[in-house]
Structure 1
Amino acid sequence: MNSELKVAIVQTALVWENPEENRRLLSYKIAAISADVDLVVLPEMFTSGFTMNPAEVAETMEGNTIVWLKKQAKVKQAVIIGSLVISENGKFYNRMVCVEPSGTITTYNKRHTFTLAGEHKVYTAGTEKVTFSYKGWKICPLVCYDLRFPVWARNVEDYDLIIYVANWPKIRIGAWDALLKARAIENMAYCIGVNRVGLDGNNFEYSGHSAAYDVLGNRLDIILENQDVVEMVSLDKAAIKKYREKLNFLNDRDNFTLEI
Structure 2
Amino acid sequence: MKVAAIQMVSGISLDVNLSEALRLLRQAAAGGAELAVLPEYFCFMGAKDEDKLVLAETPGLGKVQDFLSDAARDLRMWIVGGTLPMATDDPSHAANASVVYNPRGENASRYDKIHLFRYDNGTEHYDESAVLVAGDTPTVFECRDHAGQDWRVGQSVCYDLRFGELYRMLAADILLVPAAFTYTTGRSHWEVLLRARAIENQAFVVASAQGGVHENGRRTWGHTMVIDPWGDVMAMHAEGPGVVLADLDIERLRNVRAQLPSLQHRRL
Same fold (TM over 0.5): yes
Is the aligned partner of 1:122 residue 2:131? yes
Q: 1:52 aligns with which of 46, 49, 66?
A: 49
Structure-2 change in CA distance of 1:157 and 1:42 (3 Å): closer
Structure-2 change in CA distance of 1:109 and 1:254 (3 Å): farther
Tell me, which stretches of 5 or more residues in structure 1 are unaligned? 256-260
Deviations 1:64-84 (CA, angstroms, capped at 9, x unpaired):
111110110011111111111
Moved more, 128-137 or 156-165: 156-165
Tell me, which stretches of 5 or more residues in structure 2 are unaligned? 120-125, 145-149
Deviations 1:152-208 (CA, angstroms, capped at 9, x unpaired):
221x44310001011101112220111000000000101121111222354221231
The aligned amino acid for 1:73 is: A
Deviations 1:189-244 (CA, angstroms, capped at 9, x unpaired):
01121111222354221231111111110110042x21321121111111111111
Q: 1:92 aligns with which of 88, 91, 94?
A: 94
Moved more, 241-250 or 45-54: 45-54
Give the Cα–Cα distance (whole angstroms) in 1 for the partners of residues 211 and 64 of structure 2: 21
Q: Is the 8 A contact 1:165 1:193 kept in 2?
A: yes
SS state of the match for residue 69, structure 2? helix
Moved over 3 A (4+): none
Q: Is the 8 A contact 2:224 2:236 kept in 1?
A: no
Moved more, 44-53 or 60-69: 44-53
CA RMSD of aligned residues (A): 1.6
Moved more, 85-94 or 230-239: 85-94
Q: Is the 8 A contact 2:118 2:127 kept in 1?
A: yes
The aligned amino acid for 1:43 is: P
Give the Cα–Cα distance (whole angstroms) in 2 for the partners of residues 48 and 39 of structure 1: 22
When normalised by structure 2's length, the TM-score is 0.88
When normalised by structure 1's length, the TM-score is 0.90
Q: Is the 8 A contact 2:85 2:94 kept in 1?
A: yes
Is the aligned partner of 1:242 residue 2:240? no
Q: 1:109 aligns with which of 112, 117, 132?
A: 112
Moved more, 233-242 or 197-206: 197-206
Give the Cα–Cα distance (whole angstroms) in 1 for the partners of residues 267 and 131 of structure 2: 35
Structure-2 change in CA distance of 1:41 and 1:130 (3 Å): same
Q: Is the 8 A contact 1:97 1:108 kept in 2?
A: yes
Q: CA deviation at 1:60?
A: 1.9
